[in-house]
Amino acid sequence: MASPAEVERKVRQLDNDVQSVYEMLATIEATQKRQANRLAEIATTQAEHGTKLDEILRLLRGGPAGE
């Protein structure tokens, strides 16, 4: 049977391990939030580029600007 000191050491180690896991999860969460923000920025830029390209195609086809 494990001594009380050994049990306490294992409990402390498990507590440290749990805290480390929570820290890693917080880091992952922050990274995912930054990535989501960046993807939203890219999607907005892409939509703007699509609008500009549509206008360029209209002009190249001889249509009036701003239709």
Q: What is residue 23's predicted lDDT score, i.e. its pLDDT? A: 98
Report the candidate in 58, 38, 35, 61 with the shortest Cα–Cα distance to residue 50.
58
Q: Does a structural domain hold residue 64? A: yes
Residue type, 65: A
Taking only the tens place, the pLDDT of each residue in 12-66 is 999 999 999 999 999 999 999 999 999 999 999 999 999 999 999 999 999 776 6
Q: Does a structural domain hold residue 8? A: no
52 lies in which domain range? 43-67
Would you state the structure tokens that stand for residue 44, as one six-digit string?
Answer: 């907005």
Would you state the structure tokens that stand for residue 1, as one six-digit string?
Answer: 């049977």
Into how many domains does the chain fold? 1
Q: Does a structural domain hold residue 35? A: no
Global pTM exceeds 0.75: no
Q: Does a structural domain hold residue 9? A: no
Q: Does a structural domain hold residue 54? A: yes
Q: Does a structural domain hold residue 58? A: yes
Would you state the structure tokens that stand for residue 35, as one six-digit string?
Answer: 């990535």
